[in-house]
Amino acid sequence: MGNNKKSHIFFGWWTVFALGLVCLLGGCIAFQSFSVFFKPLAADLGLSRAVTSTAVSVQAVVMSVCAPLGGWASDKYGPRRVLLIGISILSLGCILMFFVHG
């Protein structure tokens, strides 16, 4: 009789780990790499450094407001509905980018 015990980790924890890794990498790319693109972005668009910095600040404020609302909506309506709404909004934004000319 062999001791055949396997370490059974709840699948939800693997999901939490994977999403945490994705958020970590996404956060690093989105926030930490902005300093690399700051000067070229401001020069290319003809914006002052203050206006360019304001865009990033507005993004941070919007994310800090939307994150708790997304968590609340996910608890109330379920993550599938929240993700479908988010993907729909993202898709609409990408489609509307076609009409941006300046």
Place of tokens 């790319």: 29
* pTM exceeds cut of 0.85: no
Report the percentage of the chain scoring pLDDT > 90: 37
Q: Check if the beta carbon of residue 42 is closer than 8 Å to that of residue 48.
A: yes
The pLDDT of residue 5 is 62
Sign, CA dihedral 66-71-72-75, equals positive
- Per run of 10 residues, the mean pLDDT along the chain (length 102 residues) is 66 88 80 84 90 87 89 92 93 94 77
